[in-house]
A and B are shown apart, each in its own frame.
Chain A
Amino acid sequence: GAVVSQHPSWVICKSGTSVKIECRSLDFQATTMFWYRQFPKQSLMLMATSNEGSKATYEQGVEKDKFLINHASLTLSTLTVTSAHPEDSSFYICSAPAVGAGDTQYFGPGTRLTVL
């Protein structure tokens, strides 16, 4: 099946720094990718839709200047958490729709961000 990778798998940073998380579709092209945030023992909350070659679409309540998304190619989307603070600590997950079966999504393994 299709594979979506994320890098890094975990990161620890100091408050005030920026962190970039990569999401790659390894064996298929994805014009759209999704970014989710998952708090401990809670469900996934959609943050934004990443669109190749155009601006990302953010869900209500998500700060677009805080969570910068770039989808520069058909296999790569990046999420940059700018000026991170401890409340940004979370599990960030990306997904991409399957080719020809868009209602099925492939998920990355997630990135654990801890902001000290």
Chain B
Amino acid sequence: GNSVTQMEGPVTLSEEAFLTINCTYTATGYPSLFWYVQYPGEGLQLLLKATKADDKGSNKGFEATYRKETTSFHLEKGSVQVSDSAVYFCALSPLRSNDYKLSFGAGTTVTVRA
């Protein structure tokens, strides 16, 4: 079956520090990969996605590259801000039509201190 393994948190950083959250997956075929973010008190929002090998998703200074050889989709940001404090979820969706079920990682809580 499909599964996502995500680096456990919590992660606490200082502003302008480099952030990496590791994510690896197990899936049949080539799924689409996502990072979702959940800010305090809000619902999940799509942060970025990649749909095929070597694709790089990017948004708001965050990046993640779809690595088929290592089945990974690590999230990175070079200089975090206090406003990046949130819970980050790695997820995958199987590449089959009409099957859009998402499998989520456990989530990583990130706290950025000023």
Contacts and interface: CB of A to CB of B under 8 A. Distances in A.
B44, B51, B101: residue with the most chain A Cβ atoms closer than 10 Å: B44
Given A49-B101, A103-B51, A103-B93, A108 B109 contact: no
Contacts, number: 54
Given A43-B107, A44-B104, A103 B32 contact: yes
A43 B106 contact: yes
B106 A42 contact: yes
A2 to B, nearest CB: 10
Interface string A35-50: 0000001111010010
Contact of B100 (A44, A105, A108, A109): A105
Interface of A, helix, strand, loop or mixed by DSSP: strand
Contacts of B69: none
Q: Give the interface size class of chain A.
A: 20 to 34
Most buried by B among A32, A44, A103: A103
A103 B50 CA distance: 10
Interface of B: 32, 34, 36, 42-46, 49, 51, 89, 93, 95, 97-98, 100-107, 109
13 contacts: A4-B43, A42-B107, A43-B104, A44-B102, A44-B104, A49-B101, A93-B43, A97-B100, A103-B100, A104-B46, A105-B93, A107-B45, A109-B43
